[in-house]
Amino acid sequence: MMGAPSDKRIRSRQVIVVPLKRFDHAKQRLRASANVDVTRLAQDLAAGVLAATASRPTIVLSESTRVATFARRHGADVITSHARSLNEAVQHAYAQLSDAFDQIIVVHGDLAAPDGLSSFSPSEGVTIVVDRHGRGTNVLAVPTRLDFHFAYGDDSARRHRREADRLAQPCSVIIDSPWSLDVDDADDLSALTTRGGAYAPPR
């Protein structure tokens, strides 16, 4: 369960929500193809995202007590999720947080270059930051108290645009963003290397 709101959350009407799986279960595609410590990589990426959001109210969604401890150590609050899918987990958090916040910003925990999240100012309505393929949703800002249905998965950016249209909400789509690179598979690791940010596990 989420603890008592911190002072910074009381002063804000926006909240960043970061869903995180158990690090040792995350990124199955990458585990099958990459010669890296994927568990450590997942944890390092998540730590980078939480560092980038540290000055804003941030809540981690996870079913894992270890991830919850990790999140709190990095300054985030936690909602314990027993959802069966990412969409169910985010939908539940959206409903739970709607009375306390005007807008939620859902951020994937595996962004390779998360700097700037603390100063992100979404447009009115729905804002979608797409992945590097233009199909996934790496960052999603949604006003609360709407009947918004989250639609992560294949071609989620298109489905989130359609959801904004259904609700007659203005929708901004950001294509050229450092947040477009999330690390899910070996091709993403190669893209990270091309950008000059090759992953090097800590010694």
Distance, in Å, from the CA atom of 50 to the CA atom of 33, rounded to the nearest integer, reads 27
- As for how many domains the chain has, the answer is 1
pLDDT digits (tens, 9 = 90+) for 4-29: 344 444 445 899 999 998 888 776 66
Question: Which residues of the chain register pLDDT less than 70?
Answer: 1-12, 27-34, 185-203
Q: Which helix (H) or strand (E) holds 38?
A: helix 38-52
Is residue 199 a part of any domain in this protein?
Answer: no
Residue numbers of the domain that contains 112: 7-194
Is residue 2 a part of any domain in this protein?
Answer: no
Distances (CA, A) of 71 to 53, 112, 194: 12, 18, 30
Is residue 1 a part of any domain in this protein?
Answer: no
Is residue 201 a part of any domain in this protein?
Answer: no
Quote the pLDDT of residue 203. Answer: 32
Phi and psi torsions of 56, nearest 5°:
-120, 155
pLDDT digits (tens, 9 = 90+) for 165-189: 999 999 999 998 999 988 876 666 6
Rg (CA), the chain: 16
Quote the pLDDT of residue 184. Answer: 73
Q: In this structure, what token pair is assigned to residue 62?
A: 């996870």
CATH code at 26? 3.90.550.10
- Residue 156 near residue 173 (C-beta atoms within 8 A): no
